[in-house]
Copies of this chain bind each other. A is one copy, B any other.
C-alpha cells in the first residue's frame, strides 16, 4: 500500500513535509573508499585501473584491450536485429533534432559609450560519458548523453561502461556509434571517473563527465568536480502524475509502474482531484503488479515510496507538485496547457493523456537525464549547454574608457586595490596628455 494523503486532513502538512524529507536511498559511506581509488588511479594510472577492473568486474584487460576496437564494435553492431536498429536510429534522429534547437547564439553589440560588448559560446574539447553496467546498461542513455555533446560540437567523446564478466550489450555499442562516440572503454566505478578526470597512460583526460551511476560513481564525481565539470549527482528516479478524473486508470497505473520498475527506491506519485480516479488507479496498479516481470522491484517501490494524494482542485495539485519538483511530471488532465501555467518546478513535463513518460525516455526528443530528488528547483535536464561554455568579451575605445574609467577607479580605491585603479588611471592620464 502506498502512502495515502487527504489534503483536508489536519495532519496533511506534517505528513507531506515528512514525505518530502524522506531519504529513499541508502547512501553507504563510500567516500573514503572512493578517495583511495582516485588516489590510486592518479598514482599508478593504467595499472590501477586494470587491477580494479579485474577485482570488481572480474574482467582481465590490458592497456590494449581497455577500449573496444573498431572491429569489435562492427561485430557487435552487426548482431543487432533490424527492428531494434531502426528504433534506435529513429530515436537518435528525434533526439538530435530536439537538441539542435538548443544551440545558443553568440552576441555582440556596441553600447552608448562606444564600447563593444558581447559573448561567445564554445564547446568543451573532450567529454566523458559514464554508462552504468553490464547487461542492464541502457542504449537510450548513451543517446541521451552523447547526442547533446555531439550537437554542442565536442571534439572527443568517450564512454566508460563497465562490462562485468565481459558481458557486452551490442545495443550500447550501436548507440555509441550512432551518436558520434570516439572511444568506448570497458571500465566502470570510481576508477573510470578518476581515469577520465586525471587521465592515465592510455586514457586521455576529459574536461566534462556526465551520466548516472551507483554510489561509488556519484561520490567520485563529487570529488573530481572542479578538476573537470560534472552534470549532476543523480538520485533515484521519480514520476508525479496529476489527474482530474478524465484519464484512463490503466494507463496512469502503467505510467506509475514504469517508474517504479526501475528501482526499489524509485518513487511514483499520483495527485488527483478525483477520489474515484485514485481508487481506480490503485486497483489497476495492484492488478498489474500481479503479472509484471519486475513486480518484486516495482511492488517494493510502490509500497515503500508510492504516494497518492486527493487534492481539492487542480490549483492545489499544481502547488503540491511544485513542492515535489518532480523529475517527470505527467499532466493527465483535460486541459494540460492550462495546468502547465501553474507549474514552476519540474524536470520534464508530459502533457495530456497520449504522452506516457516512456515516450520521453526513448524517443520524444527531450532528454531523459533529468534532475532528481527535488533538484528541479535549481537545475535542468542534460542539454547542449552542459557541453558548452560562454566567454564574455569587452573592447573599450579610448572614449569609452574616458566615460566609465573614473568610476572604476573610485570603486578600486574603495576596495583598497591600488593597482586596479592605477591600471585605469595610467590610460586616462595618457588620454589627458593627448588632449
- Interface residues of A, Cβ cutoff 8 Å to B: 83-84, 86-88, 90-91, 94, 97-98, 101, 107, 109, 111, 115-117, 119-120, 122, 124-125, 136, 138-140, 171, 207-208, 222, 225-226, 228-229, 232-233, 235, 248, 250-251, 254-255, 257-258, 260-262, 288, 292-294, 298, 336-337, 340, 343-367, 371, 373, 375-381, 383, 385, 389-398, 400-401, 404-408, 410-412, 414-424, 426-427, 430
A125 is contacted by which of B86, B344, B360 (Cβ under 8 Å)? Answer: B344
Known: A411-B87, A418-B261, A419-B261. A392 touches B354 (CB 8 A): no
Residues of B close to A292: CB separation below 8 A: 418-419
CB distance from A105 to the nearest CB of B (A): 10
A115 near B364 with CB under 8 A, answer yes
A375 CA to B230 CA in the complex, in Å?
A: 12
Residues of B within 8 Å of A349, CB to CB, are 391-394
Q: Known: A359-B396, A392-B367. Contact between A225 and B228, CB under 8 A?
A: no
Give me 13 other A-B pairs in contact (C-beta within 8 A), A255-B423, A380-B390 excluded.
A91-B407, A94-B404, A120-B340, A125-B377, A226-B235, A248-B426, A257-B422, A288-B422, A353-B427, A358-B420, A362-B408, A362-B420, A380-B389
Contact residues in B for A226 (Cβ distance below 8 Å): 222, 232-233, 235, 373, 375
Given A90-B407, A401-B354; A261-B420 close (CB under 8 Å): yes
Copies in the complex: 2
Contact (Cβ within 8 A) A355 B396: yes
A379 touches which of B229, B233, B354, B422 (Cβ 8 Å): B229
Residues of B near A254 (CB, < 8 A) are 419, 422-423, 426
B392 pairs with A355, CB closer than 8 A: no
Interface contact B351-A365, CB-CB below 8 Å: no
On chain B, the residues within 8 Å of A416 by CB distance are: 136, 293-294
Nearest CB in chain B: distance from A234 CB, A: 9
* A376: chain B residues within 8 A (beta carbon): 389, 391
Separation of A50 and B396 alpha carbons in the complex (Å) = 47
Whether the Cβ atoms of B393 and A366 lie closer than 8 Å is yes
Complex CA gap A406/B91 in Å reads 11
A393 to chain B minimum Cβ distance, whole angstroms, is 5
> Which chain B residues lie closer than 8 Å to A122 at the CB level?
344-345
- Report the minimal beta-carbon distance from A29 to chain B, rounded to whole angstroms: 11
* A209 CB to nearest B CB, Å: 9
* In the complex, chain B residues whose CB is within 8 Å of the CB of A426: 248, 250-251, 254
Give the residues in chain B near A233, CB-CB below 8 Å. Answer: 225-226
Contact B394 A294 (CB under 8 A): no
B124 and A97 contacting across the interface, CB-CB below 8 Å: no
Considering the complex, give the chain B residue whose CB is closest to the CB of A366.
B392
Are A378 and B389 interface neighbours, CB within 8 A?
Answer: yes
Interface centre among A98, A385, A395 (most CB of B within 10 A): A395
B residues less than 8 Å from A353 (CB atoms): 427
In the complex, what residue of chain B is closest to A381 when comparing beta carbons?
B392
Is B396 within 8 A of A364, CB to CB?
yes
Residue of B nearest to A171 (CB): B414
A-B contacts, 19 of them at CB < 8 A, read A87-B407, A87-B411, A87-B414, A90-B404, A207-B378, A226-B373, A250-B426, A288-B419, A294-B417, A347-B391, A348-B391, A349-B393, A352-B395, A355-B401, A356-B424, A362-B407, A363-B407, A379-B389, A381-B390
CA distance A389 to B419 in the complex (A): 38
**Residue numbers in B under 8 Å from A412 (CB-CB):** 358, 361-362
Return the chain B residue nearest A412 by Cβ. Answer: B358
A251 and chain B: residue at smallest CB distance: B426
Q: Can you name the residue of chain B whose Cβ is closest to the Cβ of A85?
A: B410
Contact between chains at A347 and B423 (CB < 8 Å)? no
Shortest Cβ distance from residue A90 to the other chain B in the assembled complex, whole angstroms: 5
Name the B residues within 8 Å of A261 (CB-CB). Answer: 417-420
Of A258, A345, A353, A397, most buried by chain B (CB within 10 Å of CB) is A258
Contact A415/B139 with A125-B344, A254-B422, A358-B421 known, Cβ cut-off 8 Å? yes
Cβ–Cβ contact A138 & B415, under 8 A: yes
**Contact status A396-B293, CB under 8 Å:** no
